[in-house]
Amino acid sequence: MSQQHPLLLGGGYGSPYSIKMRGVLRYRQIPFRWILRGSEWDTLPDVPVQIIPVLGFPNEAGDYTEAMVDSSPQIMRLETMFDARSLVPTDPVVAFIDYLLEDYGDEWITKPMYHYRWYYDAAIDKAAKLLPLDRGGINLPDAEWQQMQSYISERQIGRRALVGSTEENRPIIEDSYHRLLDLLSAHLETRMFLLGDRPGRGDFGLFGQLFQLVSWEPESAREAIDRAPRVRNWVDRRDDLSWWQTPVGGAGWADRDAIAETTIALLREVGRTYAPFMIANAEALQSGAAEMSCTIDGQTYSQAPFGYQGKCLMWLREQYAALSATDRAAVDALLAGTGCEPLFV
């Protein structure tokens, strides 16, 4: 592949995974061109599933003939193409913890993100107005815009239950967002990143969702400013980390024996929410049950099982199994008492 031509990132301003990948490319100083997916400038090749972001790769001639979706595989593909400012910790144990934190952001924090966008009236109004302009264009005629506003809000509100945003689950989802704000705030009293002096996949997984939560959705953004202003500033910084002086080579990552206590506290939050959800989800997928159900924080959480998240757990378990016996023991020791242990039994 030629580096003479920039990569293409097709996304949307309201899409957490698009903002995550834009942050990754900026931080890694990889030349790319941002494109609003579905807009008149979108020249990206077809992808099998119509989701965003789409990452397009040029051939020698500068034609974009290949594209892929899903942000975690996109991150790992970039790791095979570019060395500098890697997102993967050099110690496999730290790298595994980082991957787990990324998946927690991508697969659990996306629930508060979706919930805060499509539950509260002010948020629905904002998203319904702004999202169609990404795709339809800033000059979208009023009549079409109105139509798209009702279409998009009806469709997305109708999909709330699919990601678990129901009245029954609401306290679980909102409390988990509040705890995340508190935990990150505590972390940011002394640190910049989750695992050392440079950002990893986990930082960007959380960033993508939190970008929406703390700076876009009215209700959750207000809560963030009241409760955790440092987190809002952390998100602002992460949007463009091209300025960060990353220690050269593989330096700068936390040592496996010196992971911050506040990051371990975050792992306990992963064990409290993401872990029981992912396990029950995978079990429901396997048994063909119409609903998954688990206990989170002493309350019952349920929703229809979600296929992609079953794959996420399988990939995570594969990575765990690929660790050496010594490294696996070190991961086990780090996860002991966090509630994440049942993910890997």
Ligand X SMILES: N[C@@H](CCC(=O)N[C@@H](CS)C(=O)NCC(=O)O)C(=O)O
Q: Please give the single-letter amino acid code of residue 138.
A: I
71 in contact with ligand X (CB under 6 A): yes
Q: Which is nearer to ligand X, 130 or 186 (CB)?
A: 130
CA distance linking residue 18 with residue 42, whole number of Å: 15
Q: Which is nearer to ligand X, 70 or 203 (CB)?
A: 70
In the window 106-165, what residues touch ligand X (CB under 6 A)?
A: 106
Minimum distance, C-beta of residue 127 to ligand X, in the bound complex (Å): 11
- The SS3 of residue 182 is helix
200 to 85, 206, 317, 328: CA distances (angstroms): 10, 10, 20, 20
What DSSP state is assigned to residue 342? G
Q: Please give the single-letter amino acid code of residue 209.
A: Q
Minimum distance, C-beta of residue 214 to ligand X, in the bound complex (Å): 16
Q: Out of 24, 58, 70, 330, which residue is the one contacting ligand X (CB under 6 A)?
A: 70
Minimum distance, C-beta of residue 151 to ligand X, in the bound complex (Å): 12
Binding mask 12-31 for ligand X (x = CB under 6 A): ---xxx--------------
Query: Quick check: 263 and 190 in contact, CB under 8 A?
Result: no
Minimum distance, C-beta of residue 268 to ligand X, in the bound complex (Å): 24
Minimum distance, C-beta of residue 76 to ligand X, in the bound complex (Å): 12
Query: Quick check: 47 and 70 in contact, CB under 8 A?
Result: no
Q: Which is nearer to ligand X, 186 or 304 (CB)?
A: 304
CA distance linking residue 275 with residue 317, whole number of Å: 12
Size of the site for ligand X (CB under 6 A): 10
Minimum distance, C-beta of residue 16 to ligand X, in the bound complex (Å): 5
Minimum distance, C-beta of residue 241 to ligand X, in the bound complex (Å): 19
Piece in contact with ligand X (CB under 6 A), picked from 45-53, 59-67, 278-286, 315-323:
45-53
Q: Name the strand (E) or helix (H) holding 64.
A: strand 64-69
Q: Which is nearer to ligand X, 273 or 309 (CB)?
A: 309
Give Cα 123 distance to the centre of its chain: 20
Q: Out of 51, 76, 186, 192, which residue is the one contacting ligand X (CB under 6 A)?
A: 51
CA distance linking residue 27 with residue 19, whole number of Å: 12
Q: Which is nearer to ligand X, 112 or 196 (CB)?
A: 112
Piece in contact with ligand X (CB under 6 A), picked from 64-72, 95-103, 132-140, 294-302:
64-72
Minimum distance, C-beta of residue 247 to ligand X, in the bound complex (Å): 28
Report residue 101 as tokens: 């934190």
Q: Which is nearer to ligand X, 188 or 304 (CB)?
A: 304
Query: Measuring CA to CA, which residue among 88, 26, 22, 82 is closest to residue 244?
Result: 26
By DSSP bridging, strand 299-303 and strand 32-36 are: unpaired
- The SS3 of residue 163 is helix
Q: Which is nearer to ligand X, 315 or 328 (CB)?
A: 315
Radius of gyration from C-alpha coordinates of the chain: 20
In the complex, the residues that contact ligand X under the rule CB under 6 A are 15-17, 50-52, 70-72, 106
